[in-house]
């Protein structure tokens, strides 16, 4: 099959839909007989994933790899920034943490060439194995003040000799200005590299944009390859917490199990709850409101990038006491990763990894003592749960010691994970634990009065159906024949 040029989905801004369109194109190319792979040189996200060799990448690239039907690897996202505050991020290079950096230090010109070499080498390794490479930019390509330090947008496209498709969000307004400005602010070499535009998130009758499409092509000198509607019935995992504002916040879902995810200031890996959110038995919502927690049948304390700070905030705002009160009235309480640590007796930070506080008492629901450590555990795991083989992954920097009780699960390597004191109270370090139907069925069982409603929800099958649905819709609205010609296919 003819080799195709790499393609980059660049954006007029953040959250314009680059990631979802890249996911759909990965599935289309796979369906058409190619062997695509995703690539994003630098990602900033708290949603991350463990590769088979026990390293860490952005969750979005893992999702895109799944859509492409290939196993993910660190070359797909060689540089990951995990924010720990408004100004500081943990830097993960080739899947391994190399320390914390403040934004000013990180974006200086000095030292950027070392990182540039790393991300270029990662792309080259990936391109030697897969075709085409579906690249994703970050934020806006028009941030000309950051051009000298850019690793992920046009400088990466130049290294890859990629055809760039500009993605614009019409729903937020100003689409003509954002497309025109993004193109015109490029130098001549980079401007020529932009081969098409995709107008994304259109609402209403698309015929109303026919004249707009022609005007955009005229003033920008670039073809509009597609006008893509705002998809409501296709669910693809979101890239980062910017999408939490779109999540369900209504506290009561009649006839279903009400599951509340505690909305932490530093919430991480909220994709842990996507399977529950799509389960027809469940009404899932995010909240830090005490009154809303009173309506929950199940409360989940999620992962956190700053466990001690988030636990202190739960105590300060009364949410900690609300969780304990809910448990006493019969609510189930579950903790994942940082949430598991918070549910224990205490969390210790002797080396000050998260700040000045060295110790904090936990919620006291689990007989566990946690000590934070500077060595990150990153690995895939599998375990038996009620006779079913379950899978997930660990990404954490703490060690938890059971003082009583029993582990939540025995892992395939013989070690133990988490803690369980009853069917209504347990915690686990395993991200993705709630993607397993056996675990979800056990979680919901105490709160489903009609046993006929306890039908299994196959989340893995559901995700594959969503990738296929996304691919079908993109074929309707994006001129794939024109895109293939841009990428070098002649037929």
CATH number at residue 26: 3.40.50.300
241 falls within a domain: no
Judgement on whether residues 218 and 264 belong to the same structural domain of the protein: no
Model confidence pLDDT, tens digit, residues 410-425: 999 999 999 999 999 9
410 falls within a domain: yes
Judgement on whether residues 452 and 473 belong to the same structural domain of the protein: no
pLDDT of residue 244: 55
3-class DSSP state of 387: coil
Judgement on whether residues 450 and 473 belong to the same structural domain of the protein: no
- Spatial neighbors of 336 by CB under 8 A, at least 6 apart, are 269, 272, 300, 301, 302, 303, 427, 428, 429, 430, 431, 433, 434
Q: Give the full edge-to-edge strand order of the sheet including 257-262.
A: 282-287, 257-262, 298-301, 332-336, 425-428, 419-422
pLDDT of residue 334: 98
Judgement on whether residues 469 and 327 belong to the same structural domain of the protein: no
Judgement on whether residues 448 and 478 belong to the same structural domain of the protein: no
Judgement on whether residues 195 and 271 belong to the same structural domain of the protein: no
1 falls within a domain: no
- Is 337 an annotated catalytic residue? yes
- Spatial neighbors of 491 by CB under 8 A, at least 6 apart, are none
H or E element that contains 184:
helix 175-184
pLDDT of residue 449: 72
Residue 199 to residues 58, 82, 96, 208: CA-CA distances in angstroms?
Answer: 25, 29, 36, 13
Domain count, the chain: 2
Pairing of strands 7-11, 163-169: parallel
Among residues 337, 390, 419, 425, which one is catalytic? 337
Judgement on whether residues 14 and 130 belong to the same structural domain of the protein: yes
2 falls within a domain: no
Judgement on whether residues 197 and 305 belong to the same structural domain of the protein: no
Tokens 């006291």 label which residue? 364
Judgement on whether residues 296 and 223 belong to the same structural domain of the protein: no
491 falls within a domain: no
Among residues 283, 295, 431, 447, which one is catalytic? 431
- Is 431 an annotated catalytic residue? yes
Total length of the chain? 491
Spans of the chain below 50 pLDDT: none
Pairing of strands 42-44, 163-169: unpaired
What pTM was computed for the model? Answer: 0.87
473 falls within a domain: yes
242 falls within a domain: no
3-class DSSP state of 216: helix
Contact 59, 237 (CB under 8 A): yes
Judgement on whether residues 75 and 216 belong to the same structural domain of the protein: yes
Contact 64, 238 (CB under 8 A): no
310 falls within a domain: yes
CATH number at residue 423: 3.40.50.880
Judgement on whether residues 28 and 148 belong to the same structural domain of the protein: yes
User: Which structural domain range is residue 264 located in?
Assistant: 247-457
Q: How far apart are CA 458 and CA 107, in angstroms?
A: 43
Judgement on whether residues 219 and 253 belong to the same structural domain of the protein: no
């Amino acid at each position: 099959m003819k080799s195709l040029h790499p393609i980059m989905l660049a954006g007029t801004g953040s959250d314009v839909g680059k990631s979802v369109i890249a996911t759909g194109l990965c599935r289309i190319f796979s369906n058409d007989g190619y062997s695509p792979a995703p690539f994003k040189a630098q990602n900033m996200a708290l949603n991350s994933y463990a590769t088979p060799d026990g390293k860490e990448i952005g969750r979005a690239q893992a999702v895109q790899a799944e859509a492409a039907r290939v196993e993910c690897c660190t070359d797909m996202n060689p540089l990951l920034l995990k924010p720990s505050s408004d100004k500081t991020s943990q830097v993960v290079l080739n899947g391994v943490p190399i320390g914390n950096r403040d934004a000013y230090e990180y974006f200086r010109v000095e030292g950027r060439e070392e990182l540039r070499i790393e991300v270029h080498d990662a792309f080259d390794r990936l391109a030697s194995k897969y075709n085409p490479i579906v690249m994703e930019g970050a934020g806006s390509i028009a941030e000309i003040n950051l051009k000298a330090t850019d690793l992920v947008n046009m400088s990466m496209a130049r290294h890859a000799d990629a055809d760039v498709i500009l993605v614009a969000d019409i729903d937020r307004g100003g689409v003509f200005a954002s497309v025109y400005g993004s193109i015109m602010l490029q130098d001549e070499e980079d401007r020529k590299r932009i081969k098409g535009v995709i107008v994304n998130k259109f609402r209403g009758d698309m015929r109303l944009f026919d004249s707009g499409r022609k005007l955009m092509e005229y003033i920008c000198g670039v073809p509009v390859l597609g006008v893509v509607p705002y998809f409501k019935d296709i669910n693809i995992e979101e890239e980062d917490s910017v999408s939490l504002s779109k999540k369900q916040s209504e506290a009561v879902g009649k006839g279903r199990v009400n599951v509340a995810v505690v909305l932490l200031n530093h919430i991480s890996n909220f994709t842990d709850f996507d399977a529950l959110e799509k389960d027809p038995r469940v009404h899932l919502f995010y909240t830090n409101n005490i009154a809303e927690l009173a309506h929950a049948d199940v409360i989940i304390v999620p992962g956190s990038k700053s466990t001690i700070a988030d636990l202190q905030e739960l105590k300060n705002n009364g949410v900690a006491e609300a969780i304990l009160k809910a448990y006493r009235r019969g609510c189930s309480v579950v903790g994942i990763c940082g949430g598991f640590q918070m549910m224990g007796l205490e969390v210790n930070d002797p080396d000050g990894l998260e700040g000045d506080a060295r110790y904090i008492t936990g919620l006291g629901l689990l007989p566990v003592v946690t000590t934070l450590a500077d060595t990150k555990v990153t690995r895939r795991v599998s375990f038996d749960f009620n006779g079913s083989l379950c899978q997930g992954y660990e990404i954490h920097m703490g060690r938890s010691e059971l003082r009583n009780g029993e582990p939540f699960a025995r892992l395939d390597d013989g070690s133990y994970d988490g803690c369980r004191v009853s069917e209504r109270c347990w915690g686990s370090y395993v991200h993705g634990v709630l993607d397993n139907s056996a675990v979800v069925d056990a979680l919901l069982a105490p709160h489903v009065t009609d046993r006929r409603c306890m039908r299994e929800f196959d989340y893995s099958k559901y995700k594959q159906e969503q990738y296929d649905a996304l691919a079908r819709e993109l074929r309707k609205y994006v001129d794939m024949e024109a895109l293939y010609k841009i990428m070098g296919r002649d037929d």
